[in-house]
Chains A and B, each alone.
Chain A
């Protein structure tokens, strides 16, 4: 499915570049409610893949299940449609993908692909106030 994306991923090295453009920002949220950041919103996580990626390879996201901070960890979830990619810098009109799945790439990619990621979190009522965070890891592996 993500031929374009995958390719991209296959090589962050010579000729190709992977850029983490922005973190995923929930901003200020309320205890006891579910807050979702849409993959098409300006608060979603975003990467950009540019250049030539001649390797077959794989790329996958390692997604956290909780956000940690001063209080109990807050659950965070990613749906099967929370990933999106497009060849232009606009998620609208792009292609959805499941961020839980590894993406493979068999052929040559040349150009630019943008990738977005949304998520939802549900802090329980009376959650301890403060700043909570986690990390999404994008692993790029060439097949050699």
Chain B
């Protein structure tokens, strides 16, 4: 009996020791966005694996764009089916290859080819590229206990990249409306309604500035965003320690972001709006 217990314990220990080894897996996508022009219809995605394990990668596409919920939080709304009114390019995109293995400490390039339907109207069309990465299979060594159950969960990371397909000379802009703010704790929480203009997404930033009665900037923030139809995001400015009294909250929508090269963005004129607020 004692021998059986020891044998079982040894088996369990052996199985534990021979479980799939932990191997850090990391895959970076070279750019958070891809712009493809109708004249070339091709683009590229650079994948960098600086981890210590190979990554099994697959590339796919879908339709979706950022929206805000009732609290002003942004999330990506996705669509399983797309109606004709949505300028979605997901079904036109082919990636070469669709599946690949990126070895540790190496990089790979995935080519993207867009094949739009004939007679496409000039404007900007949108898609999302999904890069899914899983660690390469790790062989389980050692003996296995025939009567035992072993279980584990593998990890997969999906990076979602925006793709913009531009035909002709699409233009964009944004309109600001309904700016308001309330004090919540040590923050001034604001919201504003952004409505896209033109025939391309407005990709840029919403800058918020709080000025005191002398015009001095006392707090500021920057919110990167993309407006495809409308967006009503929440933003917050720290107001801890600021004296009570009247202030001006000003917001500005600009077509620049810290994470994207300027040539990827369509230029627009900055748009402003301001309201008076009172800090208690």
Contacts and interface: CB of A to CB of B under 8 A. Distances in A.
Interface string B122-141: 00000000001011000010
B173 interface: no
Contacts of B26: 17-20
Interface in B36-80: 50-51, 66, 73-76
Contact of A25 (B20, B144, B147, B158): B20
B175 interface: no
A43 to B, nearest CB: 9
Interface stretch (B101-109, B217-225, B267-275): B217-225
B72 to A, nearest CB: 10
A29 interface: yes
B114 interface: no
A144 B74 contact: no
A129 B153 contact: no
Interface stretch (B92-100, B177-185, B239-247, B256-264): B256-264
Given A142-B162, A143-B224, A55 B259 contact: yes
Nearest to B156: A137
A141 B29 CA distance: 12
Contacts of B33: 142, 144
A47 B15 CA distance: 24
Contacts of B82: none
A41 to B, nearest CB: 13
A83 interface: no
Residues of B contacting A: mostly:
strand
A129 B32 CA distance: 44
A20 B157 contact: yes
B149 A13 contact: no
A131 to B, nearest CB: 5
B20 A14 contact: no
Nearest to B51: A19
A79 interface: no
Contacts of A23: 20, 22, 135, 152-155
Given A54-B258, A138-B157, A143-B224, A20 B150 contact: no
Given A13-B31, A144-B257, A21 B22 contact: yes
Contact of A20 (B146, B152, B155, B159): B155
Contacts of B222: 107
12 contacts: A12-B157, A13-B31, A19-B24, A19-B25, A20-B26, A28-B12, A31-B149, A64-B153, A108-B258, A132-B152, A142-B161, A144-B224
